A and B are shown apart, each in its own frame.
Chain A
């Protein structure tokens, strides 16, 4: 199971790398989103994909899974959500003001 998930993470990372290297800024943003999914899966896998009950007080009799990776992932999701929202708005503003969503065109000159 772990091996499968690791392969999946590898595929996601490859896709994200491809996206982030493109010139279109929306693709770059999508790439960062896929990146964050890959790393969330990685945290989950690294915590160990054990089979156990839910880490909740009422059902604590049986051995339960490690709750920490899930807490970490939740935090990471919130942060990546905020950052993605911010960069989307930023890209939109930049598109309005600079008239381009092509990163090559956004390179700019030093004499401004």
Chain B
């Protein structure tokens, strides 16, 4: 039996994009203002959880064929390898560096290695949270 959830589904279609955008914004703003990989990742994960809630697990997995365990593992790998990179360059572990670049559209932009680390954190959080929710909700 399926409950009548037209409103939930319609709203989800729009809201998911808002949440995703907000998540990316939080993630990018985390360098000097509140935000960051962990919070951004949590918000992104909540978008995925909303998707799973509004439609069933199978149909989401059909259109989004991602193994979230692998996403989490990739995130951890990305985060640790940025730390590992500093080993190769002979600076203390987890050192960071940044520089300013003139990019075509954005103008003068600060790019830093922390963002890669934070991206790893965000991916790990998304992967872990969705995996947890899925493993609790799976009922055979």
Contact = CB atoms under 8 A, between A and B. Distances in A.
B132 A57 contact: no
A74 B33 CA distance: 16
Interface size class of A (residues with CB under 8 A): 10 to 19
Contacts of B135: 89
Interface string B43-62: 00000000000000000000
Given A58-B33, A82-B128, A88 B136 contact: yes
Given A74-B38, A78-B38, A89 B132 contact: yes
A62 interface: no
A91 to B, nearest CB: 10
A85 interface: yes
| Chain B facing A: main interface SS | helix
Interface in A78-112: 78, 82, 85, 88-89, 92
B32 A92 contact: no
Interface in A40-71: 54, 56-58
B136 A89 contact: yes
Contacts, number: 17
Given A74-B38, A78-B38, A82-B128, A57 B136 contact: no
| Chain A facing B: main interface SS | helix
Nearest to B128: A82
B32 A58 contact: yes
B80 to A, nearest CB: 16
A56 B33 contact: yes
Contacts of A57: 32
Nearest to A86: B132
A85 B32 contact: no
B26 to A, nearest CB: 14
Nearest to B36: A74
B98 to A, nearest CB: 12
A87 to B, nearest CB: 11
Contacts of B38: 74, 78
A74 B30 CA distance: 14
A61 to B, nearest CB: 15
A56 B32 contact: yes
Contacts of A74: 38
A15 B22 CA distance: 36
Q: Which 4 A-B pairs have the closest CB atoms?
A: A85-B132, A57-B32, A89-B135, A89-B136
